[in-house]
A = this chain, B = another copy of it.
Amino acid sequence: MADRFVDDYLLYLLARASSEVSAQFHADLKQYGLQVSEWRVLASLSDGDGMLTGELAARALQQQPTMTKTIDRMVRSGLVTRRRGAPDRRQVRVYITPEGRRRVENALAAAKRHEAEVLSEYSREEADRLKSMLRTLIERNGAAAQDD
């Protein structure tokens, strides 16, 4: 590692850590026939019961128009369904299908194994501290950066 500015730059360390740590798992996702954004949608939908397009966009780190297209694809391949919002007819609620649930199960198991492996080099305390710092970063920069 040369002694360049970026080597000690927080934004770069974050982006690179995310990229490096995710690389192997994202490669595995292809073997389950899932794109990264599809995986994020299915993982988000696998717990609750339906989410709005906008909520999914925020969670999958995509913009809303991109999420509309992601959902288009997933509807076409039978992973999710769309239903028009109940009282508020502007909304579109997205639900995971049985096929989607089937497809995401292995990926969820693989994600848990992979995370355990990455964290195996850390003590429980270190791992908690890392996650806690990341959560703090997310909270502090989430919607507060308006007044810059």
Residues of B within 8 A of A117 (CB): 148
User: How many whole Å from A108's CB to the nearest CB in chain B?
Assistant: 7
Task: State which size class the interface on A falls in.
Answer: 35 or more
Which one of A69-77, A86-94, A125-133 is at the interface?
A125-133
Residue of A10, A108, A126, A148 contacting most chain B CB atoms (<10 Å)? A10
Check if B137 sits within 8 Å of A21, measured CB to CB.
yes
Nearest B residue to A21 by beta-carbon distance? B141
**Using Cβ atoms and an 8 Å threshold, which residues of chain B touch A23?**
141, 145
A13 → chain B closest CB, angstroms: 4
| Chain B CB within 10 Å, residue with most, of A4, A12, A17 | A17
Taking a contact as CB atoms under 8 Å apart, the answer to whether A140 and B121 are in contact is: yes
Judged by a CB distance under 8 angstroms, whether A97 is at the interface is no
